[in-house]
């Protein structure tokens, strides 16, 4: 494993063992970012992963222990997706090698509150020459140069000198240049955009003599004395350190952290932050956060930038180099952003922003610098998204006008009345289909809100004229379910289609049948194909594809959507998602789509009652299930894993299936569904469950998306703490789909996890929006969107994808710009056009 990941694992492990007190690193986990980011770059860790780590650790401090556990666990999962070796247990020395965090695992008996001495960032910083222990070094890809990736950082007007290699700097030879290249700096221009990781604000420090009891402050001082005092009969100890800053002295007490005594010596300059307390009439600080500082900072009294480093580059040296480069070159950069926009959006110039982001004169100017650089990121993003929208709207889409009587007659043949929200979405689609431009719409509606019927009616409008429609779903179970629903709706008594005109195409469809479908689609006798990825295979050709539905769109990548769209000529596109999208994301990642929201549940739905049960209370869950089945209902039991793999304690579907069917529910009919079954076997089980041949479906998460069996009223989730919020909500959405009261029972792996934040949130609310908000806050946009779209969001360095104010500001400006000059042809926009092209290139904006 890469040394930087190994290091993360060590700290995470330590946090886990101590129950997440944020002490694995002195001053908190976020402190490690100073050097970790640089090291990770040297290791060639993917930028997305680095950004995910940075984002999580930065907010780590603010989370509750539960939230922290979740955050680290999620992060590690993310890392192991990219680096599978990180997810595996080391083969040798298993007991000594730290493992990834497993919050649900019981903490070791002898709780070790002492951090091993090798985890201090201070020590690592102070011993830059320590040889690396890692022997095997794989060749690493050089990190992408900073300025290349930043929107607006480079144009033809950029002074040529900014492209110069770093060896032009005094004191930088080929060796140093190599070290800096490892951090992503190859040219002077790259240095301008190598932003500080954070700042130490020494301009706001309080002198010791003006401290008051109760103050929460940062104080700088030099160490006057260090003493260790045993307490509780010698079993514990207190380290007392006295610091002085010339105005007074302050006593610091550290409870049971004896290693501190060896790490600090008289004369060391340190910064401590914490609450001022009193002891025997004197002011003291108890176990404050602290870190060493360079002595000259004591005297600078300014806001000092802290850069991400590697072991070979020291803070002081880099800061000196930066100072040279910034003071000379920041004033010389040419700003691509037109003055008009700067004025309207109240933004400082690029030169000012670059100077202040590195060496801020005040917090206010630093804020303005951040705002400007963040604006640029979002602004270019918005321009890309809006250009995409403009391009879509600039081609012709076939018109499908449809008389109101026709729609009404379709509606009256449904077994239910549409909700107002469904009607509104249908009207949106109708208008799009008659607009002369291709539809590009997202339907967003919580699980069970009835999106399918709206999509089917839209497809019916198009197919009615003889054109073709394609519906793509992420799983074969879901595709098959849609196939049945669509067929029912569109062919039933005097319906508008023949059964042979609608076909199901999934991976397991027999080759001869596939061939028939292929032919039918190519010559036009098949009007509608419903399927999985199989519908985008290259040999599937359509005679006249005009309408595309993509269900559970977050399960698909950009490429797959593009693929399907390219099978028709400017076809109308409808994508659907049950994942509620916060406004900030709706404006950015989905900013090129028109959005319809189904924010209403069909009449008669009752909120699902959700309970968190302790593992010992499992029998209660079983008796509820028995009762419901007696009333003619059905139940799901979902497990996180397929079979009991070594040491993993989650109860597993395959293993428990036999116990459940033989011992617990011997008189009931149970079906088993899991991901390792053949698609045809899965479909068969699913169909039997729907036809009530099974009372209980024991399953892994294959049932997660879309599955619709309205007669089922109980969803029991085992190992519930192992699931993400979005996933839990999706699973819960499998019940409560009819009029009957439904139940969701969550049983975590261990009793400890019953207080788990996510599980509690689930029992508190049925609203997918509320849960999504919480998810976005605790886990960041990465988990929220598909991985592809997350890439889009992680290009942001300065701006936050959740900053709605900034996003709206940038969007407004981008809109105005496109109104004034849709193709950026005016002279005053020449530089902007150039930078835009450089950033987006061709077609990168296709994120629908
Ligand atoms: P989702 O939005 O999660 O895809 P579905 O489209 O699968 O939801 O619909 C969930 C269930 O609600 C289905 O059984 C569907 O037939 C039913 N349904 C949809 N619209 C209505 C309505 N207006 N009134 C009653 N039931 C409805
Ligand atoms: Mg659905």
Q: Is the pLDDT of residue 619 over 70?
A: yes
Q: Is 410 exposed, middle or buried (0-12, 13-18, 19+ CB in 10 A)?
A: buried
Gap between the terminal Cα atoms of the chain: 36
Pocket of ligand 1 (CB under 6 A): 416-419, 422, 445, 447-453, 578, 602, 706, 708, 710, 737
**What pLDDT score does 309 carry?**
85
Question: What is the spatial distance between Cα 350 and Cα 832, in angstroms, rounded to a whole number?
Answer: 13
**What pLDDT score does 119 carry?**
33
Atom 20 in ligand 1: residue holding the nearest Cα: 450
| Per-residue CA distances from 702 to 54, 478, 575 (Å) | 32, 10, 21
**What pLDDT score does 133 carry?**
38
Looking at the CA of residue 422, tell me the nearest atom of ligand 1: 23
**Cα 684 vs. chain centroid, distance in angstroms?**
35
Tokens of 356: 């202040």
**What pLDDT score does 795 carry?**
64
Question: What is the spatial distance between Cα 27 and Cα 771, in angstroms, rounded to a whole number?
Answer: 31
Q: Is the pLDDT of residue 826 over 50?
A: yes
Atom 5 in ligand 1: residue holding the nearest Cα: 450
Atom 25 in ligand 1: residue holding the nearest Cα: 602
Closest CA to 328 of 200, 173, 178, 169: 169
Question: What is the spatial distance between Cα 379 and Cα 216, in angstroms, rounded to a whole number?
Answer: 38
- Given a contact cutoff of 8 angstroms between Cβ atoms, the answer to whether 122 and 263 are in contact is yes
DSSP 49-79: HHHHHHHHHHHHTTS-HHHHHHHHHHHHHHH
Q: Is the pLDDT of residue 440 over 60?
A: yes
Mean pLDDT, residues 732-746 taken together: 92
Q: Is the pLDDT of residue 63 over 70?
A: yes
CB atoms within 10 A of CB 543: 16
690-729 residue pLDDT tens: 899 999 999 987 776 667 889 999 999 998 988 888 889 8
**What pLDDT score does 813 carry?**
95
- Furthest-apart CA pair in the chain: how many Å? 94
Tokens of 510: 């027999």
**What pLDDT score does 90 carry?**
45
Question: What is the spatial distance between Cα 150 and Cα 195, in angstroms, rounded to a whole number?
Answer: 12
**Residues facing 547 on adjacent strands:** 469, 572
Mean pLDDT, residues 102-109 taken together: 34
Select the more confidently predicted residue: 493 or 397: 397
Segment among 19-23, 131-135, 292-296, 569-573 with least mean pLDDT:
131-135
Going by the DSSP 8-state scheme, the letter that residue 712 receives in this structure is E
Atom 18 in ligand 1: residue holding the nearest Cα: 450
Atom 15 in ligand 1: residue holding the nearest Cα: 450
| pLDDT classification of 103: cutoffs 50, 70, 90 | very low
Angle between helices 420-433 and 451-463 (to 10 degrees): 30
CA of 323 from ligand 2 middle (Å) equals: 56
- Given a contact cutoff of 8 angstroms between Cβ atoms, the answer to whether 292 and 158 are in contact is no
Atom 26 in ligand 1: residue holding the nearest Cα: 602
Closest CA to 743 of 650, 651, 621, 657: 621
Give the containing element (helix H, strand E) for 230: strand 216-231
**What pLDDT score does 306 carry?**
85
Count of positions (residues) in the chain:
848
- Given a contact cutoff of 8 angstroms between Cβ atoms, the answer to whether 505 and 535 are in contact is yes
**Residues facing 714 on adjacent strands:** 635, 743
6-30 residue pLDDT tens: 888 888 888 888 888 887 777 788 8
**What pLDDT score does 296 carry?**
58
| pLDDT classification of 100: cutoffs 50, 70, 90 | very low
Going by the DSSP 8-state scheme, the letter that residue 165 receives in this structure is B
- Region class of 736: left (phi > 0), else alpha (psi between -120 and 50), else beta: left
Q: Which residues contact 313 (CB under 8 A, 6 or more apart)?
A: 38, 176, 179, 180, 183
137-152 residue pLDDT tens: 444 444 555 677 777 7
- Given a contact cutoff of 8 angstroms between Cβ atoms, the answer to whether 702 and 567 are in contact is no
Select the more confidently predicted residue: 826 or 775: 826
Angle between helices 47-60 and 787-794 (to 10 degrees): 70
CB atoms within 10 A of CB 582: 18
Q: What is the DSSP pairing of strand 743-747 with strand 712-718?
A: parallel
Tokens of 343: 């004025």
Q: Is the pLDDT of residue 498 over 80?
A: yes
Question: What is the spatial distance between Cα 563 and Cα 68, in angstroms, rounded to a whole number?
Answer: 40
Closest CA to 113 of 214, 246, 211, 259: 259
Question: What is the spatial distance between Cα 147 and Cα 633, in angstroms, rounded to a whole number?
Answer: 61
Q: Is the pLDDT of residue 48 over 80?
A: no
| Per-residue CA distances from 620 to 318, 337, 656 (Å) | 63, 64, 17
**Residues facing 670 on adjacent strands:** 696
Mean pLDDT of the chain: 82
| pLDDT classification of 682: cutoffs 50, 70, 90 | confident
**What pLDDT score does 301 carry?**
56
| pLDDT classification of 93: cutoffs 50, 70, 90 | very low
Question: What is the spatial distance between Cα 319 and Cα 198, in angstroms, rounded to a whole number?
Answer: 13
Tokens of 489: 């709706």
- Given a contact cutoff of 8 angstroms between Cβ atoms, the answer to whether 184 and 797 are in contact is no
CA of 607 from ligand 1 middle (Å) equals: 15
How big is the chain by its Cα radius of gyration, in Å? 30
Q: What is the DSSP pairing of strand 594-598 with strand 634-638?
A: unpaired
Probe target for ligand 1 pocket from 443, 602, 608, with the most ligand atoms within 8 Å of CB: 602
Mean pLDDT, residues 654-677 taken together: 87
CA of 453 from ligand 2 middle (Å) equals: 9
**What pLDDT score does 128 carry?**
37
Specify the 3-state DSSP secondary structure of 745.
strand
- Given a contact cutoff of 8 angstroms between Cβ atoms, the answer to whether 333 and 354 are in contact is yes
Probe target for ligand 1 pocket from 452, 740, 768, with the most ligand atoms within 8 Å of CB: 452
CA of 424 from ligand 1 middle (Å) equals: 15
Tokens of 496: 């508008």
Give φ, ψ of 829 to 5 degrees. -105, 5
Mean pLDDT, residues 390-414 taken together: 90
Tokens of 197: 């990781």
CA of 727 from ligand 2 middle (Å) equals: 14
Probe target for ligand 1 pocket from 425, 447, 448, 603, with the most ligand atoms within 8 Å of CB: 448
- Given a contact cutoff of 8 angstroms between Cβ atoms, the answer to whether 86 and 9 are in contact is yes
% of the chain surpassing 90 pLDDT: 39
- Given a contact cutoff of 8 angstroms between Cβ atoms, the answer to whether 167 and 325 are in contact is no
Q: What is the DSSP pairing of strand 634-638 with strand 670-673?
A: unpaired
| Per-residue CA distances from 662 to 12, 218, 398, 672 (Å) | 41, 64, 59, 13
CA of 714 from ligand 1 middle (Å) equals: 18
Locus of tokens 């698909």 = 556
Closest CA to 687 of 478, 529, 501: 478
Give φ, ψ of 534 to 5 degrees. -55, -25
**What pLDDT score does 337 carry?**
96
Mean pLDDT, residues 445-456 taken together: 90
**What pLDDT score does 300 carry?**
56
Mean pLDDT, residues 324-334 taken together: 93
Closest ligand to Cα 732: 1
Q: Is the pLDDT of residue 810 over 50?
A: yes
Tokens of 321: 């180099």
| pLDDT classification of 657: cutoffs 50, 70, 90 | confident
Looking at the CA of residue 453, tell me the nearest atom of ligand 1: 6
**What pLDDT score does 91 carry?**
41
Instruction: Give just the sign of the alpha carbon dihedral 167, 172, 175, 179.
Output: negative
Looking at the CA of residue 737, tell me the nearest atom of ligand 1: 11
Question: What is the spatial distance between Cα 486 and Cα 124, in angstroms, rounded to a whole number?
Answer: 63
Q: Is the pLDDT of residue 807 over 60?
A: yes
Segment among 38-42, 164-168, 492-496 with least mean pLDDT:
492-496
- Given a contact cutoff of 8 angstroms between Cβ atoms, the answer to whether 48 and 16 are in contact is no
513-570 residue pLDDT tens: 999 999 999 999 999 999 998 999 999 999 999 999 999 777 776 677 788 889 999 9
Reported in sequence order, the residue ranges of 544-598 that DSSP labels E, i.e. its strands, are 545-550, 572-577, 594-598
DSSP 662-676: IIISTTS-EEEE-TT
Q: Which residues contact 598 (CB under 8 A, 6 or more apart)?
A: 419, 421, 422, 425, 443, 444, 445, 446, 449, 450, 451, 454
Tokens of 91: 């083969």
Mean pLDDT, residues 738-761 taken together: 88
Q: Is 316 exposed, middle or buried (0-12, 13-18, 19+ CB in 10 A)?
A: exposed
% of the chain surpassing 70 pLDDT: 85
């Amino acid at each position: 494993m890469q040394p930087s990941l190994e290091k993360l694992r060590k700290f995470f492990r330590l946090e886990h063992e101590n129950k997440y007190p944020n002490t694995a690193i002195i001053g908190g986990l976020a402190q490690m970012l100073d050097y970790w980011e640089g090291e990770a770059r040297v290791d060639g860790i993917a930028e997305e992963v680095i950004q995910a780590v940075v984002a999580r650790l930065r907010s780590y401090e603010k989370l509750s222990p539960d939230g922290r556990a979740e955050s680290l666990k999620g992060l590690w999962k993310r890392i192991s997706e990219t680096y599978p070796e990180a997810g595996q247990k080391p083969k040798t020395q298993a007991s000594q090698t730290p493992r990834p965090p497993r919050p649900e695992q019981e903490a070791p008996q002898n709780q070790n509150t002492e951090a091993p001495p090798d985890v201090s960032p201070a020590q690592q910083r102070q011993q830059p020459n320590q040889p690396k222990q890692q022997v095997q070094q794989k060749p690493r890809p050089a990190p992408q140069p900073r300025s290349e990736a930043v929107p607006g950082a480079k144009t033809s007007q950029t002074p040529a000198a900014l492209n110069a290699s770093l060896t032009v700097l005094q004191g930088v030879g080929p060796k140093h240049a190599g070290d800096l290249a490892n951090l992503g700096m190859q040219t002077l221009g790259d240095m301008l955009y190598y932003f500080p990781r954070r700042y130490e604000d020494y301009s706001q420090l309080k002198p010791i003599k003006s401290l008051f009891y109760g103050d929460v402050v940062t104080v700088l001082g030099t160490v006057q004395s260090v003493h260790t005092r045993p307490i509780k009969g010698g079993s514990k100890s207190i380290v007392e350190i006295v610091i002085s800053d010339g105005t007074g002295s302050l006593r610091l007490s550290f409870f049971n952290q004896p290693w501190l005594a060896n790490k600090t010596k008289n004369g060391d300059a340190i910064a401590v932050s914490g609450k001022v307390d009193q002891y025997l009439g004197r002011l003291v600080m108890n176990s404050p956060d602290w870190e060493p500082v360079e002595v000259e900072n004591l005297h600078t009294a300014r806001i000092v930038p802290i850069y991400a480093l590697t072991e070979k580059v020291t803070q002081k040296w880099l800061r000196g180099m930066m100072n040279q480069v910034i003071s000379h070159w920041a004033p010389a950069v040419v700003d691509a952003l037109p003055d008009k926009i700067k004025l309207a959006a109240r933004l400082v110039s690029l030169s000012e922003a670059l100077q202040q982001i590195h060496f801020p004169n005040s917090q206010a100017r630093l804020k303005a610098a951040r705002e400007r650089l963040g604006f640029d990121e979002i602004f270019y993003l918005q321009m890309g998204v809006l250009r995409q929208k403009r391009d879509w709207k600039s081609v012709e889409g076939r018109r499908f006008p449809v008389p109101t009587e026709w729609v009404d007659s379709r509606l009256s043949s449904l077994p239910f009345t549409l909700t107002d929200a469904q009607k509104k979405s249908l009207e949106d689609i109708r208008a799009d289909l008659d607009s002369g431009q291709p539809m590009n719409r997202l339907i967003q509606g919580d699980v069970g809100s009835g999106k399918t019927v709206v999509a089917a009616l839209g497809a019916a409008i198009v197919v009615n004229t003889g054109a073709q429609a394609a519906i793509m779903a992420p799983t074969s179970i879901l595709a098959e379910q849609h196939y049945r629903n669509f067929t029912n709706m569109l062919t039933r008594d005097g319906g508008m289609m023949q059964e042979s005109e609608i076909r199901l195409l999934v991976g397991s469809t027999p080759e001869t049948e596939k061939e028939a479908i292929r032919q039918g689609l190519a010559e036009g006798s098949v009007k509608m194909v419903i399927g999985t990825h199989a519908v985008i295979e290259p040999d599937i050709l359509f005679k006249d594809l005009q309408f595309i539905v993509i269900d559970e769109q977050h399960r698909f990548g950009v490429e797959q959507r593009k693929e399907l769209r390219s099978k028709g000529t400017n076809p109308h596109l409808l994508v659907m998602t049950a994942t509620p999208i916060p406004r900030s994301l709706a404006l950015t990642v989905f900013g090129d789509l028109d959005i319809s929201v189904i924010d209403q549940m069909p009449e008669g739905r009752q909120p699902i009652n959700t309970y968190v049960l302790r593992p010992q209370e499992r029998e209660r869950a079983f008796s509820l299930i028995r009762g419901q089945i007696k009333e003619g209902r059905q139940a799901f039991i979902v497990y996180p894993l397929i079979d009991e793999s070594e040491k993993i304690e989650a109860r597993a579907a395959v293993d428990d299936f036999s116990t459940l069917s033989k011992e617990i529910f011997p008189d009931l009919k149970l079906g088993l569904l899991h991901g390792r079954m053949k698609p045809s076997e899965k479909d068969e089980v699913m169909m039997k469950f729907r036809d009530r041949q099974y009372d209980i479906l024991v399953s892994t998460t294959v049932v997660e998306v879309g599955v619709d069996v309205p007669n089922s009223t109980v969803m029991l989730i085992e190992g519930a703490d192992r699931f993400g919020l979005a996933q839990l909500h999706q699973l819960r959405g499998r019940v409560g789909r009819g009029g009957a009261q439904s139940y969701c029972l969550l049983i975590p792996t261990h009793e400890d996890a019953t207080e788990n934040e996510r599980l509690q949130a689930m029992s508190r609310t049925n609203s997918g929006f509320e849960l999504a908000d919480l998810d976005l806050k605790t886990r960041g946009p990465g988990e929220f969107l598909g991985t592809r779209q997350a890439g889009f969001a992680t290009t942001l360095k300065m701006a936050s994808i959740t900053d709605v104010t900034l996003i709206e500001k940038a969007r407004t400006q981008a809109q105005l710009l496109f109104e004034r000059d849709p193709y950026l042809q005016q002279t005053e926009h020449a530089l902007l056009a150039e930078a835009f092209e450089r950033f987006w290139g061709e077609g990168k904006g296709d994120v629908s």
